[in-house]
Structure 1
Amino acid sequence: MNARLSPEREAEIAARAEAATPGPWGTHRDLDAVYTIQARPRTTRDGMENDGDIATLAVGRLDAEGYANARFAAHAREDVPALLAELAAVRAERDRYRAAWQSASFRAEARGEGILRITRDRETYQGWLEQEQAVTQQLRVRIAELEAANAEAVGVSESLYRRLSDGMLAGSALYAALTMPTTPEQRQAALDKFKAVAHREEPAR
């Protein structure tokens, strides 16, 4: 039979084993070469005893075959429960390995997704960094332009301040020359100085 053992059939086998006469079972061969399956055969002070016959194998087969059949039937009482217990243990072990494999598979998948997420995040962060670097460079250029404009404005302001100061000084000297008792030469010198200050060229920007 090639069909896999289904849970239903396994349960039927276990139920039949549970309902059968308790073991162990043994075999007895009489003088007519008839094999009998007996429950709990044992040797006592009074001789061989048992808990009753289980089954008698039909006569007509070779003695070796009859003996093999009897042993198979007798040992089935212990072999079937042992095989069922081993099947349950193997299935439990299989389930443990399957659960361990699934857990490892899930962890590997999660780790792989984590690596992909880190890679994607790294690319995103790299893009943000490049954008920030570009903005920073633009700000540096703008700061340099403002510093240059500020330096130029300071230069112009200083130049205007000097012109204004010179003009005020020249105006004061001219006023003094015109209003206070002075010589013609002093008045002419003050007027020339005032004209020179008034006609001074503004520095190039």
Structure 2
Amino acid sequence: MTGRTNVDRGREVRARLVAAAQELIGELGWNGVSTRILAERAEVRPGLVHYHFESLQALLRQAAIEAMGPLLTDAAQLLGAADPADAVEAMLADIDRYTGTDPASLLFIEAYIAATRDPVLREQMYDLVAAFRAAITAALVSKDHPDAETTAVLIMAVIDGFILHKGLDPQLSAARLVPLLRRLTETENGADR
């Protein structure tokens, strides 16, 4: 049986720090996370935060991007497997599991706010969002949508806004948005089905 290497231990500490940061961003807000609190949550010495990351902000950025990336990638994969209108409906149905006050929603909201003041985070988030918007646009173009790019921007704005509004009114349901977004995403080819 082989023991864990320093590299293995380093990866484990980094993963614990990222997971703790993801939790704390939603609980305390972006600016409420300190090195001390983060180290306590991750059960590591405070010095390890700066050993593994150049700064607390770099760690918070990494935590946000690691949380957001897979969610957007999974949503984008829906677009390749279905008609765009069906894919948007499936995305909205999936969003209903978020309350707007759950940890994932709060992490997204906090990251969006932080990105308005942090140009590095803004660029990293832009890359994720641009890739997702490109996937929506490509799906709409593949169905000959007459205004694919503008519609993709609108879909993303509705999804983001819906998460914000769910935090204020948890009774909101994506089902109410589906008919409107379906009309926006359908093309003549899709409407003929």
TM-score, structure 1 as length reference: 0.21
Higher relative contact order (CA 8 A, sep 6+): 2
Report which of the two has the higher share of strand.
1
The structure having more radius of gyration, on CA atoms, is 1
